[in-house]
Structure 1
Amino acid sequence: MHPRPRHLPHDQPPRPGPPRGRSRVTLKRELAVAESLALEAGELLRGHRAHKVEVGHKEDGEIVTAADLESDALIRAGLAIAFPGDAIYSEEAADSPARLACSRVWIIDPLDATSDFVAGGDQYVVSIGLAIDRAPVLGVVYRPEREQLFSGHRDRGVTLNGRPVRATGARKLDHARIAMSAKESKRGPLELPPTVVVRRMRSMAHKLARVAAGLDDGAISLKARREWGTCAGVALVLAGGGRATLLDGSDIAFNQPVPRLPLGMVAAGAALHPALLMAVG
């Protein structure tokens, strides 16, 4: 039996408004499958934390663990059984150009923030996103150590552990809560007011999920991120009534030939997004 996500006494998000929409798309089964797989993968990852975590390295020098690979195999197998006609694009599996011809592509990071996982932190997440015709339409992000399950799609809105949530309506950067990595200030100038509350977060998927749920007002990355760590989070931000764009203000398209996005990104509630984009531009 999967662990039941619990509500935490802190980080209470605002009450949601109705989802904004395009034409309705029925993704109820897709969301249920993704949620179940994220919970199962999270349980697997917690199990690995009970033992010493052995660290290896990929060809590009990034670290990888057995937990990454087992979580990846679990999620890909589950998606392949449930949706055999869909393509799957994962950080931990060989890429295939055949996905570029597919309308529906699952884009997953089975363990986002592996360094945090290895260090014994609690910010690592499982990220499962679905892009249809290159648009991010569905996202599930699960934070196992806090049992926080963020999920939603563009015509359903977003929930956190089953409770409807939404991006905040903040309009000014003064006192806004902005999630970013500890390295952002070294990557370029940030014209943020001194009263901004900076949340230091490891996982990009987690930062985006927090924006979608109204736990933070915005998130930034001056670094160009890869698709598998952003698809689910961007889908959640959009489903929660927020905006997520590249640093030039353009929409983010997924299932591209190159896995890394062309620029860094900004995500926030719709009212705050223009100001945050200007502050990092």
Structure 2
Amino acid sequence: MGSSIQEQSGDDVAQRLLDSAATLAYDPATEVDWDTPLDKDFHGASPEWSTLYGTAYWREMSEAQRRELTRQEAASVASTGIWFEMILQQMVLRDIYAKDPTGAEFQWALTEVAEECRHSIMFARGAKKLGAPAYRPHRVAVELGRAFKTVAFGEAAYAAILVAEEVLDVMQRDWMRDERVVPFVRTINNIHVVEESRHMKFARDQTRKRLAGAGEARRQINALVIAIASYVIVTSMVNKRVYAEAGLDVERAVTEAKANEHHKSMMRSSCSGLMEFLASARLLTKPALVFYKRAHLI
């Protein structure tokens, strides 16, 4: 009886998301202005979100260098987004494999995968238009991601999905409203924020649903797995190559970025709602907190 009610609740959430997707969805191929040449008088992201904002190096940089850096950083975040969206799609498809295709959860999952495919193409085109190379996470992160997408299931998969989406969501809400950011990037961010809000609702619902029947040992193990995945995702967002592409001294830039308390504070504030959710799900265990603190998420 309890399982049936829980399944019905999940289907109710999925049906509402399907209805939302039918009402409000975007086609980036036509919604984004891909034809207008890049205007280098604009930033690629809100300057306050730059890894160097507030540092001595930032104060020494010209406005043109600052704008180039934020464009490269935005492209790096987009490239990391593509990497994780590919992991996400595989986990979701594996989760619904052989499940009832007539159910709303199955159909919503495919809808989410379709949206993620469009987002990845949108991010790829956006990064190219920003004049950035193909940024990729460190080889270790790539291999960890390969393992994670293969073995993660249930709450570990959906909570990790939620972490990646929530962190991006807060920064992109700032960027899409910021008139200093190049218009086509603002459009990309708006599309992503609107559609990812549905994905986050589903991930939260699935995390709660999967945890409902979890024992303490499973909760402890998956809390740590989610925290490690979160650490890898967040620390992979800005590739150190962005500094070279912006014409900066890479060694100095990396050193100042690592010590940048302003950026750490921005990351913590962006994750306050996420941390509240993880705490309510009893996923902020002591071992997990070590990784969230190292990633400056709490």
Q: Provide TM-score, normalisation by structure 1.
A: 0.28
Q: Which has the higher helix share?
A: 2
Query: What's the TM-score, normalizing by structure 2?
Result: 0.27
Tell me which of the two structures has the higher relative contact order, counting C-alpha pairs closer than 8 angstroms and 6 or more residues apart. 2
